[in-house]
A = this chain, B = another copy of it.
């Protein structure tokens, strides 16, 4: 009989609440014969305050021993900026070589958007997850003095760029529109930019059916609000992907709906699925958090593990739930989770 060994990192703030709903829907979606084993990890702000640990080696090792990881949200204003991000979230992405940071953006019917005219939005951002300005290669000298110099080094390798570009071509090739856009800033960041562009062009020769184009990141933000329907699949660097996917979430109903997967396609390490939103301490415990982003992240998780039908059922459930939402009658986190679970099992 089949089984899924799932590591769960609820994390901080609303992380706990949304992960509970994600697990609820996951159980409802899984076929009877699939055994779901979960193990919860106490990582995040509370743990750091109590012990000073962000992600000890023993837990990193133990996390490896799973088929996937579901993460809620990490971060709290009481923790200095960077401590949990670099010491936990990015540490996981780097240690488990999550080079495909997958972030679909779709404007569902009846979902609010700040854009006039409700354009047709349905694209996927393939954000590089293990290189670029995120590598943590920087430092400062004469720190805190008028002579301070601080650096941040963006590191980019042919190996790292090619594998994510190839993944993006595969995804574009599998979609009806077969369009792939590279976003970078190769008129200023000429070294990294040319590496990306050259590999993008070369690998493209293997995908003759995929139409390609290139946009500078600044221009891309314009199209995100004036013509988002032009995008199908976007491949981009770690930092540009971070920025663009928050903007993409904003125009498709907000980060309450934005799902993501930190994927290691080789399967050498478990992939990790998490909503794009943060821990939102201001609404933690109020029942106002929307668990939909986590539930959609669970769909990405299922799809990654080969349960495509179950993933599709969750997406359909979310689409129907959103279609019937009444802004005048908001539901609690738990009620939304229940409604989605009911749709999925029904």
When distances are taken between beta carbons in the complex, the residues of chain B under 8 Å from A197 are: 81
The answer to whether B90 and A188 touch across the interface, beta carbons within 8 angstroms, is: yes
Give bound CA distance, A222 to B133, whole Å.
21
| CB of A185 within 8 Å of the partner chain | yes
| CB of A110 within 8 Å of the partner chain | no
The answer to whether A243 and B246 touch across the interface, beta carbons within 8 angstroms, is: no
Give which listed residue, B117, B151, B191, contacts A191 with CB less than 8 A.
B151
Give bound CA distance, A226 to B254, whole Å.
9
Contact with B along A170-198 (1 / 0, CB 8 A): 00000000000000011111111111011
Give bound CA distance, A193 to B188, whole Å.
21
Number of interface residues of A (CB under 8 A): 68
When distances are taken between beta carbons in the complex, the residues of chain B under 8 Å from A145 are: 158
Give which listed residue, B116, B157, B222, contacts A115 with CB less than 8 A.
B116
**Which B residue's beta carbon lies closest to that of A228?**
B114
The answer to whether A153 and B150 touch across the interface, beta carbons within 8 angstroms, is: no
| CB of A146 within 8 Å of the partner chain | yes
When distances are taken between beta carbons in the complex, the residues of chain B under 8 Å from A151 are: 153-156, 191-192
The answer to whether A239 and B185 touch across the interface, beta carbons within 8 angstroms, is: yes
**Which B residue's beta carbon lies closest to that of A158?**
B148
**A positions within 8 Å CB-CB of B:** 75, 81-82, 85-86, 90, 113-117, 133-134, 136, 138-140, 142, 144-159, 162, 185-195, 197-198, 217-219, 221-222, 224-226, 239, 242-247, 249-251, 254-255
**Given A116-B117, A225-B250, 16 new contacts (CB under 8 A):** A81-B186, A82-B187, A90-B188, A115-B115, A136-B190, A140-B195, A144-B198, A146-B159, A150-B157, A151-B156, A152-B191, A218-B242, A218-B247, A219-B246, A221-B250, A222-B249
Q: List 21 A-B contacts (CB under 8 A).
A: A75-B187, A82-B188, A82-B193, A86-B188, A86-B190, A115-B116, A115-B225, A133-B152, A138-B154, A145-B158, A147-B158, A149-B157, A151-B154, A151-B192, A153-B153, A153-B154, A185-B242, A218-B245, A221-B246, A222-B255, A225-B251
